[in-house]
C-alpha cells in the first residue's frame, strides 16, 4: 500500500523524498507554500527531477500536495477571492514540475453567503485555473463542517464536481477525521458510507485518503485530528479503511499529531496490520 505523512518542503523536493524513505513511506504530502500565508519558494527544476527519479526508483505512489489554509476560493471579500484564485492558478502551474500527482485543497468557507453560492464560486475558480494540458488531478477535500465550510457532505462535493468543465482533472480526497466529524459513521457502517459515496460521487473519483483518528464524536463538526488508535474512531475501524478492497491503491496520508518517530511507528503499524484486517 501507499502510505506516508505530511513533510516540510523547506529543504526542497528531493529532501522530502529522502525523509519519506527514512520513515518507511512511499508517498507523502507537502504544502505548496506557507500554509498560513501565501509566499511560495522558487522551484528548482533540477530538484523536482531528482525527486521524480527517487520516486520511480522506490516505486512511490502519487503525492498529495496541499494548498495553503489561507486559500479560500469562495470567500466574500474581493481581496481574499483574488488572492485565493491567484494562489490556485500559480500552484497548478507549479505542480507541472511534478506531473501526474494530486493537488488537494479545502473547498472553502462561504462565510455566510450560503453553500449554494460557495459551490458556484469554487467551481468558477477551478474552471478559471484548470488547463487542458495540465497533468495534475485536483482534489476537493471532504470537510468536517465547522463554521461555514463547504464540502461537509458528498452532495456538496458532487455539486462542485458537476460544474467543472475539465471534469477528468478533478476528484476527491477523503479525510477520515473530517467525514467522521461531519457525521459519516465509518466505525459502524464503513460499507454503507462507501456505498453512499459511490452512489453520489462515484468511488472512481475517490483518489486519496487523509488518514487520521478524531478527538471528537461522529457528527461533532469539530475537525481535531488524533493519533491512529487514540481517538474516537479507533485503530480497528481505521485499519478497515486502510485495507478496504474498494480503496486499494490510493495514497494514504497521515495528518496525525506526531513527530518523525511517531509517524514511522504509525506507518509500520498500518503496514503490519494487513493480515489482521482481513
Binding site for Zn ion (CB under 5 A): 223
Does 210 contact Fe ion by CB under 5 A? yes
The interface partner of residue 266, options being Fe ion, Zn ion, none and the CB cut-off 5 to 8 Å by kind, is none
Give the closest residue to 65 by CA, choosing from 98, 21, 24.
Answer: 98
Which residues contact residue 77 at a Cβ distance below 8 angstroms, ignoring those fewer than 6 apart? Answer: none
Nearer CB in complex with Zn ion: 27/214: 214
Does 213 contact Fe ion by CB under 5 A? no
The interface partner of residue 223, options being Zn ion, Fe ion, none and the CB cut-off 5 to 8 Å by kind, is Zn ion
The interface partner of residue 210, options being Fe ion, Zn ion, none and the CB cut-off 5 to 8 Å by kind, is Fe ion
The interface partner of residue 91, options being Zn ion, Fe ion, none and the CB cut-off 5 to 8 Å by kind, is none
In whole angstroms, give the CA distance from residue 142 to residue 269.
25
Nearer CB in complex with Zn ion: 91/181: 181
Q: Which residues pair with 105 in a beta bridge?
A: 140
In whole angstroms, give the CA distance from residue 114 to residue 99.
35
- We find the least distance from the C-beta atom of residue 224 to Fe ion, in angstroms, to be 12
Which residues, numbered 136-175, are part of the site for Fe ion (CB under 5 A)?
141, 175
- We find the least distance from the C-beta atom of residue 267 to Fe ion, in angstroms, to be 17
What is residue 252's three-state secondary structure?
Answer: strand
Does 223 contact Fe ion by CB under 5 A? no
Cell 518542503, located at residue: 9
What is residue 19's three-state secondary structure?
Answer: helix
Cell 450560503, located at residue: 114
Amino acid at each position: 500500500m501507499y502510505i506516508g505523512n505530511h513533510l516540510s518542503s523547506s529543504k526542497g523536493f528531493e529532501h522530502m523524498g529522502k525523509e519519506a524513505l527514512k520513515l518507511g513511506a512511499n508517498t507523502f504530502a507537502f504544502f505548496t507554500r506557507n500554509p498560513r500565508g501565501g509566499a511560495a519558494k522558487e522551484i528548482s527544476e533540477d530538484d523536482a527531477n531528482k525527486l521524480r527519479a527517487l520516486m520511480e526508483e522506490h516505486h512511490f505512489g502519487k503525492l498529495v500536495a496541499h494548498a495553503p489554509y489561507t486559500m479560500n476560493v469562495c470567500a466574500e471579500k474581493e481581496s481574499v477571492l483574488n488572492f485565493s484564485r491567484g494562489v490556485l492558478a500559480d500552484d497548478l502551474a507549479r505542480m507541472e514540475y511534478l506531473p501526474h500527482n494530486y493537488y488537494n485543497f479545502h473547498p472553502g468557507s462561504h462565510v455566510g453567503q450560503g453553500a449554494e453560492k460557495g459551490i458556484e464560486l469554487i467551481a468558477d475558480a477551478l474552471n478559471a485555473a484548470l488547463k487542458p494540458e495540465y497533468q495534475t488531478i485536483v482534489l476537493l477535500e471532504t470537510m468536517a463542517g465547522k463554521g461555514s465550510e463547504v464540502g461537509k457532505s458528498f452532495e456538496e462535493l458532487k455539486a462542485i464536481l458537476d460544474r467543472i468543465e475539465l471534469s477528468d482533472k478533478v476528484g476527491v480526497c477523503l479525510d477520515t477525521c473530517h467525514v467522521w466529524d461531519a457525521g459519516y459513521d465509518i466505525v459502524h457502517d464503513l460499507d454503507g458510507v462507501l456505498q453512499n459515496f459511490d452512489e453520489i460521487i462515484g468511488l472512481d473519483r475517490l483518489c486519496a485518503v487523509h488518514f487520521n483518528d478524531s478527538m471528537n464524536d461522529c457528527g461533532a463538526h469539530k475537525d481535531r485530528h488524533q493519533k491512529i488508535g487514540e481517538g474516537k474512531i479507533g485503530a480497528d475501524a481505521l485499519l478497515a479503511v486502510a485495507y478496504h478492497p474498494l480503496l486499494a491503491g490510493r495514497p494514504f496520508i497521515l495528518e496525525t499529531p506526531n513527530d518523525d518517530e511517531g509517524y514511522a511507528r504509525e506507518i509500520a503499524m498500518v503496514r503490519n496490520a494487513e493480515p489482521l484486517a482481513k
